Structure 1
Amino acid sequence: MSTTDQGRPFGRPTTTAVLTVTTLALALTGCGAATLPERSQPTMTLDQAKTQIDGYRSDILAHLPVEPTTDPTAPASYSDSECDANDIGPHGRQQTERSAVFADLPLPDRTKAADAFRAYLTGRGFQVVPEPPDSHIGWVRMKNPKDNFLAVLDGATDTGRTFQLKVSSPCVWPNGTPPA
């Protein structure tokens, strides 16, 4: 049995109690049951989310000092997916995303674009989303706290990655209302 620096025993019962309390605290706060009612509320529709994505994407592209190689006026190609429901949230919510890819840009151009991206979105009320230390290197992630839309500039600091802008929606019900 190990001891603390004050000589008191620190064994399995204490560790188990701490883990149990921590698990309960997480389950009853942002990671669990307390958020289920919020996730079951009406949302914008998936079509409205796509319209919002197009607005953000167009505005961001207009403020970047580089041009995408994908035609920004081409018919929309969205990537829709079901939201992760293992967070005990209700099934059936969807998230959508649209990207713009840029040609092989040298690092100085990527840096200028990332600086413009941050400056523009910060001015619009977006906030930087910090990444965990072992996370995706080269992303600049900005989230609008008012509507939870996320804008990501991928490959901003890594020329080995494709440089692209991604704008994604929060989880929404396809028709705006949860199933009965």
Structure 2
Amino acid sequence: MRKLNLALLAGLTVLFATSCGTGDQPKDTAMKNTITIQEANQRVEDYAERARAAFPVSAELRLQSQFKDSPCDDPTDNGPKGRLVASRGYQVMGPSVDQFPQQFEAIQAWWGQNGFAVSTDSARGADRTVAAENKADGFTMSLRSNNVGQLYLNTSSPCVWRNGTPESAN
């Protein structure tokens, strides 16, 4: 159980580390309208469901974490406080550990066909994380394996305003 908790914690760390963008957003664009947090939640789920096509037909995405309106106060994106982020974490059930390398190749191919660009690819033993960002809308996804033979798919929105408009403009 301790290993599972550590694995989930590591996954959430990756999820939040990639959830609020790349840090290159100018301050003047941060006060612009965004999609709503409701739309962000729907898109997070849609991306995960669409990405499921990269895995074997028998694979199952089992929801492990769900954050529907977490604060997005990441100072590295130069944006204002008050925005929110939506994210989901799924354990990918089905593929065996010896199939993990093919799963990483498959998800990267899917990302490439769907507007995502790989931003991180790191490995330490059996632990590997590959993350990507959709340059058109700022959503991020990551695939992570761990040393206890688990595979996780994480999806996050960029920072958005609850109702799509900056709080100070309401």
Matches within 5 A, 1:12-161: 35-65=26-56, 67-68=59-60, 70=62, 78-79=66-67, 80-87=69-76, 88-103=78-93, 105-130=95-120, 138-155=128-145, 158-160=146-148
C-alpha distance in structure 2 between counterparts of 1:85 and 1:113, whole Å: 30
Deviation at 1:107, TM superposition (A): 2.8
TM-score by structure 2 length?
0.71
Greater length-normalized contact order (CA 8 Å, ≥ 6 residues apart): 2
TM-score by structure 1 length?
0.67
Deviation at 1:162, TM superposition (A): 3.4
C-alpha distance in structure 1 between counterparts of 2:35 and 2:87, whole Å: 15
What is the DSSP-based 3-state SS (H/G/I as helix, E as strand, rest coil) of the residue aligned with 1:146? coil
**Partner of residue 166, structure 2:** 178
Deviation at 1:110, TM superposition (A): 1.2
- More strand as a share of residues: 2
What is the DSSP-based 3-state SS (H/G/I as helix, E as strand, rest coil) of the residue aligned with 1:89? coil
Count residues in correspondence. 142
- Structure 2 unmatched runs, 5+: 1-21
Indicate the RMSD between aligned Cα atoms, in angstroms. Answer: 2.9
Distance 1:105 1:133, change over 3 A: closer
Larger Rg belongs to: 1
C-alpha distance in structure 2 between counterparts of 1:56 and 1:148, whole Å: 12
C-alpha distance in structure 1 between counterparts of 2:52 and 2:31, whole Å: 34
- Structure 1 unmatched runs, 5+: 1-29
Moved over 4 A (4+): 131-134
